[in-house]
């Protein structure tokens, strides 16, 4: 059996701890009963001492105590802090997640969120990189939003993005087959036609041009910063009154399907009209009869005509909900889970893994 460096390291630590453990047995007989699991709990709780860890000590395999995989979160993504002791809640044990850079030299993985380091190469770790350590490139934005990928050359070992061919796949949402074919569902009453919620108005983006043309042929209610106000509390109640929702992505890019579809449209039971990656690409993730794609029509005018036709044909409109008998929508489980998942995947990964050019992969291999 080949031992990965990661495992050899653990083995060394394990032997050392075993030795100390035996010593402490000889010196303090009573410490046997509490020593190791306390140790583990300390590791898990250290990050947030105000919260008690929800660890059921007896359900953790004893050998995990000394085999912690250390994941260093280099910077809080977008400055957003999240609890770091939740892995046991997801059935993932033996992880130490930390933001304490003193642990850099022992970290099995360093998770680096691109938008937080992209303007300054010096904001990457500067100390020598331990031979066993993975650097993980974390990014949830399409190319048009980010920059300076070149500076990542020959530094990284894994990718964590919304692209399915990432080493660690981090989608905005996905569909899960229902175990039992679903019950009858009720489509919310619809009194309005088309809505769109847009927060960032990138004037050059394809979706703006498409909207400008589409609105000449069909009435569209636009909500967002520069338009009708809509609070988060009212979001689903409001949008569910519309038959259609424009789930227009800000970029046309492989696998880039965001909460605009998963949460805004499906969450409010409005039939999504999507603009973004190709229909074929959407259909890798979503049943083909769950959405309308702008590419299905030769012009915005034709799309408008189709939406008006569906508005008059209840039976045909309802067909866009049939998938709900077989699937349910799942939303991204959040950063706390993502970090635990990193730990799990790093542990299962091959010893040596190199990404010579993140730039080439993200900009060219699409």
Residues annotated as catalytic (active site), given as ranges? 141
* 134/282 with CB nearer ligand NAG: 134
x-or-dash string of contact with ligand NAG, 162-191, rule CB under 6 A: ----------------------x---xx--
**CB-nearer residue toward ligand NAG: 286 or 355:** 355
* Comparison of 99 and 222: residue with beta carbon closer to ligand NAG: 99
Q: Is 355 in the site for ligand NAG (CB under 6 A)?
A: yes
Name the residue among 271, 269, 275, 249 with its Cα closest to residue 260. 249
> Can you tell me which of 4, 155, 175, 220 binds ligand NAG, judged by CB under 6 A?
155
Q: Which is nearer to ligand NAG, 198 or 335 (CB)?
A: 335
Binding mask 59-98 for ligand NAG (x = CB under 6 A): x---------------------x-x---------------
Find out whether 349 and 132 touch, Cβ atoms under 8 Å: no
Contacts of 209 (CB under 8 A, 6+ apart): none
| Residue span binding ligand NAG (CB under 6 A) among the ranges 109-117, 197-205, 299-307, 352-360 | 352-360
Of 156 and 317, which CB lies nearer to ligand NAG in the complex structure? 156
How many residues bind ligand NAG (CB under 6 A)? The answer is 25
* Contact set for ligand NAG, span 283-302 (CB under 6 A): none
Interface with ligand NAG in residues 131-150 (CB under 6 A): 132, 134
Q: Which of 29, 61, 80, 102 binds ligand NAG (CB under 6 A)?
A: 102
Please give the residue ranges that form the binding site for ligand NAG (CB under 6 A).
Answer: 48, 50-52, 56, 58-59, 81, 83, 100, 102-103, 132, 134, 154-157, 184, 188-189, 352-355
């Amino acid at each position: 059996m080949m031992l990965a460096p990661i495992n050899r390291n653990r083995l060394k630590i394990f032997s050392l701890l075993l030795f100390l453990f035996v010593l402490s047995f000889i010196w303090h007989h009573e410490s046997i009963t509490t020593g190791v699991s306390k140790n583990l709990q300390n590791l898990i709780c250290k990050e947030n001492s105000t919260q008690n860890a929800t660890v059921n000590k007896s359900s953790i395999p004893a050998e995990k105590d000394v085999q912690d995989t250390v994941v260093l979160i280099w910077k809080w993504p977008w400055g957003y802090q999240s609890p770091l002791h939740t892995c046991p809640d997801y059935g993932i044990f033996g992880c130490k997640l930390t933001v304490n850079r003193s642990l850099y030299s022992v970290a099995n993985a360093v998770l680096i969120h691109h938008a937080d380091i992209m303007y300054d190469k010096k904001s990457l770790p500067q100390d020598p990189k331990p031979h066993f350590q993975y650097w993980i490139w974390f990014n949830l934005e399409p190319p048009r939003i980010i920059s300076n990928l070149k500076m990542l050359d020959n530094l990284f070992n894994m990718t964590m993005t919304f692209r399915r061919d990432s080493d660690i796949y981090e989608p905005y949402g996905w569909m899960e087959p229902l175990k039992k074919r679903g019950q009858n569902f009720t489509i919310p009453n619809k009194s309005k036609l088309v809505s769109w919620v847009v927060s960032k108005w990138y004037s050059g983006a394809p979706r703006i041009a498409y909207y400008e043309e589409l609105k000449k042929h069909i009435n569209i209610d636009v909500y967002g910063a520069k338009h009708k106000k809509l609070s988060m509390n009212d979001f689903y109640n409001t949008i569910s009154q519309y038959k259609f929702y424009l789930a227009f992505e800000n970029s046309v890019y492989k696998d880039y399907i965001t909460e605009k579809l998963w949460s805004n449209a499906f969450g409010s039971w409005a039939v999504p009209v999507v603009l973004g990656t190709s229909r074929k690409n959407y259909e890798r993730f979503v049943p083909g009869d769950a959405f309308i794609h702008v590419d299905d029509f030769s012009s915005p005018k034709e799309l408008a005509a189709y939406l008006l036709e569906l508005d008059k044909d209840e039976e045909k409109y309802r067909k866009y909900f049939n998938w709900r008998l077989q699937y349910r929508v799942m939303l991204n489980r959040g950063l706390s889970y993502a970090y635990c998942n990193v730990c799990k995947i790093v542990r299962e990964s091959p010893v040596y893994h190199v990404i010579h050019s993140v730039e080439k992969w993200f900009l060219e291999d699409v």
